[in-house]
Amino acid sequence: MSVMQKIISCGTRLDAVTGPLTRLARCSRGIHLGSTDSAARKLIPNEYEEPLIRTSIPGPKSKELLKNLDNITKNTGGVQYFVDFKESLGNYIVDVDGNRFLDTFMQISSIPVGYNHPAVLDALRDPEYLHIMVNRPALGVYPGSSFPTSLDRALLSVAPKGLKHVQPMMCGACSNENAIKQALLWYRREKRGGDPPTQEELETCLHGQEPGCPPYTVLSFDGSFHGRTIGCLSMTHSKPVFRLDIPSMDWPCAPFPRLQYPLEDFEAENRAEEDRCLKEVARQIEESRAKTRDVAALIIEPIQGEGGDNHASSYFFNQLQKICKEHGVAFIVDEVQTGCCTTGHFWAHEAWNLPEPPDFVVFSKKMLTGGYYFKEEFAVDGPSKVFNTWMGDPPKLLMLAAVVDVIKKEGLLDLARESGQHLMDGLQDLQAKYPQHLSRARGMGTHAAIDSIDGDTAAKIVRMARDKGVIMGACGKQSIRFRPSLVFQPHHVDIAIDTFNDVLSQL
């Protein structure tokens, strides 16, 4: 079994690559796991001890604010409650009605070291950086003198091995958009042999016609999510709500493996499934080229998030990179959700042991700012080809630099592994105790999920857990997912698993 298979196997996880961790003592309830020594010290001073529910959810203040907001935006269907961010701390989010929740979802996986971490607050309070906060420069034209140093400290210091260049952006969607754009520019440059564009290309491109706009395509995967902008929607295949009524480009979509669990019981079947998907990737690339609709780039998530926390083995990703190399296709890894330690690796693709780095690695969410790392041969060959007004956000780099310092000083990468194992142990126990409700526990680090029997039951579980003071997420057709902060300790896991058990006992 490969390292990646061991990591995501139900029953054998990160201890397969980081050394064994002691199985933790159980309490009388049968699933609540005793905390390890690391839980004795709070990583966030004065963090709350437990959830506290004072009103129904949403409470009266949230309901009143919701009416006001709906009058303004007419787009409040997803709002659950309004947050008192001043009172939120560490792993706990507090709403305007005084309800306090243990947050294992963290603003859709985008808060790295919890709410109001002192180190991040201190970075923003420093008067030396006040001018950076009040001025938002057009970084592609007028960057401040501290910008190169900020990029080095915040982004290059944690760059994936072998990637020495980074392009900052604003969010995950625009990062994916521009990584794709840069890959397409590279592909066209390669096809021209380095020659400048012709006059005909310059004229026809303004009308979206060939040869100025070549019919190149980007291959993505069934179940994928890469953003909600028009270009990214053409590579997103996870939920109808994302794409319904929106025109999109006719780009190829390959199957992503659907593994059977526990992995050690289905090695042959899962290898056959991955080989089937790899064969289809190669077929689609070859078929597209035969139709003069070359696949210029392939984009993939290490773990499909919105599509249902779908995993694949290191074998699959190694073979995928090999196919891209053989066909001259850019290999883009979308680490918007998986980047920044959540999987027990700073970058999830590190677990694959690739012979060389991906061509692009895209980031956002827990990295606080958006952007992508890339190989030197993919650099743009002229100004304004990859460009927008801001191309990043300097205050976010200050925050990220503080976060990186905290990760190193507090050993949060190791904590993600420890808490991740603790979480998976708890999910396994729940799965064994409630087989009529749960199956397919899986994860890397604290980036974990488990399936319910159907979507309605998953939604009900998430809602009931919230009403008991624990925030969980949902994804795919019937999965419940966990995306806690990097300061999520084993004693926080205990609270989440105990609440999960209470919910299941009431179904």
> Residues with catalytic annotation?
225, 334, 365, 389
- Terminal-residue alpha carbon distance, the chain: 37
Pairing of strands 330-334, 473-475: unpaired
Q: What are phi and psi of 391, to 5 degrees?
A: 50, 45
In b/e form, how buried is each residue of 454-475, taking b as 16+ CB within 10 angstroms?
A: eeebbeebbebbbebbbbbbbb
Question: What is the spatial distance between Cα 438 and Cα 426, in angstroms, rounded to a whole number?
Answer: 12
Q: Which helix (H) or strand (E) holds 221?
A: strand 217-221
Cβ–Cβ under 8 Å, residues 388 and 174 = yes
Q: What are phi and psi of 316, to 5 degrees?
A: -60, -50
Cβ–Cβ under 8 Å, residues 436 and 464 = no
Question: What is the spatial distance between Cα 341 and Cα 372, in angstroms, rounded to a whole number?
Answer: 16
Q: Which amino acid is at 491?
A: H
Cβ–Cβ under 8 Å, residues 150 and 168 = no
CA angle 211, 217, 219 (to 5 degrees): 170
Question: What is the spatial distance between Cα 89 and Cα 242, in angstroms, rounded to a whole number?
Answer: 32
Q: What are phi and psi of 175, to 5 degrees?
A: -70, -45
Decide: residue 132, CB within 10 A, 0-12 exposed, 13-18 middle, 19+ buried. Answer: buried
Q: Which helix (H) or strand (E) holds 405?
A: helix 394-410
Q: Which helix (H) or strand (E) holds 360?
A: strand 360-363
